[in-house]
Amino acid sequence: MNTAKQHGLWFHLFDVGLNIVIIVGVVAVIRTFLVSPFQVEGSSMLSTLEHKEYIIINKLAYRLGSPKRGDVVVFRPPTSPDKPYVKRVIGMPGDTVTIEDGEVFIQAGSKGATVLLEEEYLNAANRGRTFQSPPSSGNTSRISYTVPEGQYFLLGDNRTGSLDSRSFRDSNGDPIPFVEEDAIMGRVWVIALPISKIHALEPPIYDL
């Protein structure tokens, strides 16, 4: 092999290697800052999301803004931050969330009226069945949560089978119902797989 061919081979290998590094770098940036795939585990978001479905998370949404009520989000729960959960934002900073008689009521801010939260995304098995922890208890007595600034109150759509803000507790067994905004990784944007269920997840509109 002459010198010119050797140089040509090394240049080709360098070019291929550089392209691989660039592609890996671009993918890493996209997954870190823009969008990322995630596989749903468990039934806590039925029937909005199902076990083993693949979803795409929009991370940029919360770099440019903050979570909104009704957003379905992937987050690091206070009980096990290394294992992301997917739930729905129900209580915003400053809200008082009340669970009573199987329903969710919201007082938006300290001076607003307390209003029943109309949740059309809940299926027939979960509508009117939001109970105190444990979620399958059937406990319809009243409990209220006032959400601190910079934190959120999250519930799964499968209200009788979801470990969420009602259930989070520290090592002493004390409730830790709120999720820091920094722990919310992104908003669920698209259901990507299976192919038969591909669609964008639209946020609900509440009459509050």
State pLDDT tens for residues 52-110: 999 999 999 999 999 999 999 999 999 999 999 999 999 999 999 999 999 999 999 77
Residue type, position 66, single letter: S
Same domain, 74 and 163: yes
pTM: 0.84
Beta-carbon contacts of 206 under 8 Å, excluding residues fewer than 6 positions away, are: 69, 70, 117, 118
- β-pairing, 199-200 vs 72-75, is unpaired
Nearest Cα to 40, choosing from 54, 56, 25? 54
In the set 80, 83, 87, 137, the catalytic residue is: 87
Nearest Cα to 86, choosing from 7, 201, 206? 201
Same domain, 31 and 109: no
d(CA 189, CA 112): 30
Would 205 be classed as within a structural domain?
no
State pLDDT tens for residues 150-190: 999 999 999 999 999 999 999 999 999 999 999 999 999 99
Clarify whether 87 is annotated catalytic.
yes
Residue appearing with tokens 């307390």: 114
Task: Decide if 164 contacts 87 (C-beta within 8 A).
Answer: yes
Same domain, 100 and 192: yes
Same domain, 30 and 52: no
Same domain, 52 and 17: no
Same domain, 29 and 84: no
d(CA 142, CA 131): 9
Residue 207's pLDDT is 85
In the set 36, 43, 44, 68, the catalytic residue is: 44
* Number of domains within the chain: 2
d(CA 135, CA 123): 16
Q: What range defines the domain where residue 6 resides? A: 1-36
CA distances (Å), origin 79, targets 27, 135, 137, 183: 30, 17, 21, 12
Residue 110's pLDDT is 73
Task: Decide if 74 contacts 154 (C-beta within 8 A).
Answer: no
Same domain, 84 and 5: no
Same domain, 27 and 68: no
Would 207 be classed as within a structural domain?
no
